[in-house]
Every structure is written in C-alpha cells, then in structure tokens.
Amino acid sequence: MNRVDRLVAIILLLQSKRQITAEAIAQYFEVSVRTIYRDVTALGEAGVPVIAEAGRGYSLMQGYHLPPVMFSQQEAMAIATASVLVQGITDPSVVASMQSAVLKIQAVLPQQQLESLEKLELVHYQNRWHLLSWCKMRNDFRDFRLDRVTGYTLTEQGYEYRDHQSISDCIQSWIANEPKQSVQVAFSRWALDRAEREWSFGIRKLSEQADTVTVELTTGELEWLANWLLSFGTSVRVIDSPSLQAILVQRAQELATHHAP
C-alpha cells in the first residue's frame, strides 16, 4: 500500500474507532510505529483534526467525517460479487439491503467502473457463473456455463477484443428470439415458497385453494422445466400442457427403471 492510500485508510480507521493507539495502527498496516507518527503528523498538516492523548492514543475530532471515498475497481467488484452471491442464500430483506448498497456505490462510480460492474451482471444469472465469449467454431457469441467446463488448454493464439455492449445486444437477441410458452402448474403452498425462490423468470399466480396455488410459468424449454418440476415430487401438478405432462411421465419412467433393484 502506498503512502497516500495508507493516509486515507488511517482516517477511515480512526472514524471507525473511538480511540486507537499508534502501536495498534502500526500493527494493522504492518509498518513501524515511527511511520505512523509521521503519517499522523502529515494528516494534521493537511487539516485533518487528529486528537492525540498521551497514553491513550489517537481519535478524530467529533463531527469530522471524510468526504465520500471513491471505491477502487477491485473493491467495487468485490462488493458487487458479494451482492450477486448473497441473493440465493439469505433472507430477502438482506438481499434488498445489499442491492440498495450496490446502487449507492454505482451512483458514485465513474463510467469505466460502471461498465465493469455491468460485465459482472452479464456473467452471473440463474445461480450459475457463465463465460460469454466469441466462439471461433460458430463465428458468434456463445454462453458457456463454468460449472460444465471440464478442462482448458493454454495456446499461443491471440484474440480480438470485442466491446461488451455487443455481448449485451447478443443476449437480448437470444431472449427476444427464444420461443416461449406458458404453462399452468399447481403447487402445494410449501412447494410454491421454494419455487418462487428458484424460478428466476417470474411466477404469476392465477388462483388459490386451501392447500394449493395455481400459477403460470413461462419457459423456452419444456425439457428443462420438466426436470426442475420433478424435484418437487408429488407437490406439483401440471394442469394445461399435455406435452409437458408427457415429458414428466417419460422422465419418471426412466427414473423408475434406473433405480429399480
């Protein structure tokens, strides 16, 4: 850490403590106590109201706050990544608070760092990390799920940089051109709670009974939807799609054959 960054970090540290000794600051930044003495003197010369009490340590004058500090690209990316990862593993109220915090961070970021965050939101969705890149075989952008990558080989071949906006346009065209169909499904109430957490394309409630709720799901691939619905067992029932029902029956028969003694 260079000295300028350390001086700013010392102010932040002082803001977070009522009082702290030079020895504790030195240990925190892994520098000598003498270096901290020089840093605190420099802060005072720059107009930062640092109060020194013999035998007790340093503190900031009450009411002093450092103006908003610009996040580094690494810090902004780290916070945004945490926001993405926390969405599927914590309470919705925490997710909302994290999203609010990220919006405040984005409000003070320069354009270049905003573009980096946008790239991150391209690459994580449906609880999976994706690699969106140019495929030489197909001469077009393709979406590669990282959890399905089994290996890689380093080569001497170079690549031509392509603006990420082109990738955004490509994704939008995939979404727009993907054939979609809606199906009605009845979930038990406890199963619906899980479905609403997992189904990222949205669920529209149609009607409610004592023990079940009928909803509308929109999908571009019945096979994928069928595999997901199978995980709910008998807590779900397809109402209006013979094609989806047939796929479910076929999958269930395959599972029964596979697991038969």
pLDDT in tens, 229-258: 999 999 999 999 999 999 999 999 999 999
Q: Is the pLDDT of residue 170 over 60?
A: yes
Tell me the pLDDT tens digit for each residue of 90-128: 666 777 777 777 766 666 666 666 666 666 657 766 667
* Residues 178, 192: Cα–Cα separation, whole Å: 26
Tell me the pLDDT tens digit for each residue of 47-66: 888 998 888 899 888 777 65
How many C-beta atoms surround the C-beta of residue 195 within 10 A?
Answer: 21
pLDDT at res. 130:
79
* Residues 77, 87: Cα–Cα separation, whole Å: 16
pLDDT at res. 75:
73
pLDDT at res. 243:
93
For residue 202, CA distances in Å to 89, 148, 205, 217 come to: 18, 25, 10, 7
Q: Is the pLDDT of residue 211 over 70?
A: yes
pTM for this prediction: 0.44
